Amino acid sequence: MKKVMFVCKKNSARSQMAEGFAKTLGSGKIEVTSSGLEASHVRPEAIATMKEVGIDITDQYSKPLSDFNAEDYDVVISLCGCGVNLPPEWVTREVFEDWQLDDPAEQPKIFPRVRGEVKERVEKLVQALSAEPEAIA
């Protein structure tokens, strides 16, 4: 099973929504964690906007990337264009993508649009990772 890390600046909105979608859509297919270049808190707007689509992320919390080891992950997804600020070991994983989504924390009215963009990309990611044959150890 592929291990996925979603990373953002503060792990407060986009990466938290991605974690919520991936845990739901990728259940039993991938393992998921999210983190930030720095930890903060999960924005109430992120929790509310996910609740609107039936996904509860109230138990998720903001975690610093420094709490994790890059070699434990197969896939690293940056959601904010912060890939340039990631330590090199994070961008050289099997799969690295930088989605560069708008930050809804700065404009709360765009939370629903960003949520839709996150969902669409997570769906494609889960499909792609589920289609790959498991590597033979």
The pLDDT of residue 106: 81
Residue 82 a catalytic site member: no
The pLDDT of residue 130: 87
Q: Could you tell me the pTM of the whole model?
A: 0.93
pLDDT tens digit sequence for 47-72: 999 999 999 999 999 999 999 999 99
DSSP assignment letter at 20: H
Distances (CA, A) of 90 to 67, 87, 96, 134: 13, 6, 8, 21
CA 27, CA 24: separation in Å to the nearest integer? 5
Q: Which of 1, 3, 13 is nearest to 76 (CA)?
A: 3
- Which one-letter amino acid corresponds to residue 51? K
Catalytic, out of 7, 8, 18, 42: 8
CA 7, CA 37: separation in Å to the nearest integer? 7
CA atoms within 13 A on the CB side of 26: 28
What domains does the chain contain, in order, with CATH numbers?
2-131 (3.40.50.2300)
Residue 8 a catalytic site member: yes
The pLDDT of residue 134: 53
**Residue 16 confidence (pLDDT) above 70:** yes
DSSP of 65-127, one letter per residue? Answer: GGGS-GGG-SEEEESSSGGGGS-HHHHTSSEEEE-----TTT-GGGHHHHHHHHHHHHHHHHH
pLDDT tens digit sequence for 113-124: 999 999 999 999
Return phi, psi of residue 91, to 5°: -90, 0
**Residue 132 confidence (pLDDT) above 90:** no
The pLDDT of residue 137: 41
pLDDT tens digit sequence for 69-109: 999 999 999 998 877 789 999 999 999 999 999 999 889 99
Catalytic, out of 55, 80, 118, 122: 80
CA 136, CA 127: separation in Å to the nearest integer? 20
The pLDDT of residue 32: 98
The pLDDT of residue 83: 76
